[in-house]
Structure 1
Amino acid sequence: MLTHIVFFKLKDSSEESVARAAQVLRDMEGKIEVLKSIEVGIDVLHSERSYDIALITTFDSLEALEVYQVHPIHKKVIEYMTQVREASVSVDFES
């Protein structure tokens, strides 16, 4: 199994903007066949080093992640997140 984690820091970290971006991410659930699980978390501490949103997704393989990366639904999400994010970082690991 491959786990793909992305943290997003938004340009506008208001409650409404964060909730909207989190919903855009959640809306991928059930729409991309290779996406085995998805979890979206919103930061509750709001410390200086915090990011606003965590996206945790799992896939059967690296090849499945590659399919996800170019899927039309994911590409629309990337387009939206590119507009609203200030920064993002990711980690991908096998388990």
Structure 2
Amino acid sequence: MFTHIVFFKLKDPRPETAERLRRLILDMQGKIPELKSIEAGVDVLHEARSYDLALIARFDSLADMQAYQVHPVHQALLSELKGEVAGSAAVDFES
């Protein structure tokens, strides 16, 4: 199993913006064959160290995650997020 986690700082961190982007992330489910599961959530603590939004995506392998990265559905999401995200961080690991 390969896990891909991304945290996003949003330019506009209002709950309605974060929720709209969360739905866009979840909309990838079932559209990318290599993507086995995806979760996304909006931060509820709003602490100084918090990010506004996170996704957890799971794949069978690193190769499948790399195929996901270039898939047109994922690329369309990245285009949508580009104007909304002030910064991000990621962690990728095998389990």
Same fold (TM over 0.5): yes
Pairing 1:52–2:52 present? yes
Q: How many angstroms apart in 1 are the aligned matches of 2:18 and 2:41? A: 10
Q: How many angstroms apart in 2 are the aligned matches of 1:62 and 1:92? A: 9
Q: Indicate the residue corresponding to 2:13 in structure 1.
A: 13
Greater than 6 Å deviation, 4+ residue runs: none
Give the TM-score taking structure 1 as reference length: 0.97
Q: How many angstroms apart in 1 are the aligned matches of 2:15 and 2:93? A: 30
Q: Indicate the residue corresponding to 1:43 in structure 2.
A: 43
Q: Name structure 1 gaps, 5 residues minimum.
A: none
Q: Indicate the residue corresponding to 1:26 in structure 2.
A: 26
The alignment's C-alpha RMSD in Å is: 0.6
What letter is aligned with 2:35?
Answer: L
Q: Name structure 2 gaps, 5 residues minimum.
A: none
Q: How many angstroms apart in 2 are the aligned matches of 1:25 and 1:83? A: 15
Query: SS state of the match for residue 75, structure 2?
Result: helix
| Count of aligned residue pairs for this structure pair | 95
Q: How many angstroms apart in 1 are the aligned matches of 2:82 and 2:35? A: 21
* Percent of residue pairs identical: 54
Give 1:57 shift: 0.4
Query: SS state of the match for residue 89, structure 1?
Result: strand
Q: String of CA shifts for 1:2-36, please: whole Å, max 9, x gaps.
A: 00000001000011111111111011011111000
